[in-house]
Amino acid sequence: MSGESYTMKDAMLYSQRVAQLSKALWKAVEKDWQNWIKPYDLNINEHHILWISFHLKGASISDIARFGVMHVSTAFNFSKKLEERGYLTFSKRDDDKRNTYVDLTDEGNALILKMYDHYHDSNHSIIDGSLPLKELYGRFPEFLDVMAVIRNIYGEDFIEIFDRSFSNFKSSLEEHEDRLIARS
């Protein structure tokens, strides 16, 4: 058996292992996500579109498809449904006539913030399952090897959008909290 074929076997075992792990992880995430969004009559794709539009502050349909890892047609069709429900509007930009942009309406923005306020009304197995690691390390795990693999598969700009959306996410939560405190 050559060195190369040994490596091929290793590579197969490794990727099959990642397949099992990532299916189990995703199924837990999917269940948490569905439980959270159920009261708002949204499916995961619809919520993901609102999430991305909110955090990227003006995303094109192709940004949404790319960052949400969904087909462009899926991104477009569900955006259309969200537009009909009054959560977003479509627009074109003068400097970019080819792409369709999505902007949340006030109602869409309010929905996203309301959903954050009620985040912990449903159970999140991912949080519960990570608390022992948080106790051990003093922080939630960072999944750095998963991040590295995703960076290699989806490209540097995927990670940049990822980081940008989380930084916006964090500041929007802080603003929202400040407003709640000011109001009370």
- Stretch of 78-86, 95-103, 106-114, 120-128 contacting its own copies, by CB under 8 A: 120-128
Q: DSSP of 134-168, one letter per residue? A: HHHHSS----HHHHHHHHHHH-HHHHHHHHHHHHH
CB of 97 to its own copies, least distance (A): 30
Cβ–Cβ under 8 Å, residues 49 and 75: yes
Cβ–Cβ under 8 Å, residues 54 and 91: no
Q: Which residue has 């309301």 as its token pair?
A: 114
Among the listed residues 126, 164, 168, 172, the single contact to its own copies using CB under 8 A: 126
Among the listed residues 77, 125, 171, 179, the single contact to its own copies using CB under 8 A: 125
Cβ burial 104-119 (10 Å sphere, 16+ → b, else e) = beeebbebbbebbeee
Instruction: Spell out, one character per residue from 46 to 85, where the chain touches its own copies: x when CB under 8 A holds, - when not.
Output: --x-------------------xx----------------
The site for its own copies (CB under 8 A) is made up of 1, 8-29, 32-33, 48, 68-69, 116, 119-120, 124-133, 140-143, 145-154, 158, 162, 166, 169-170, 173, 177, 181
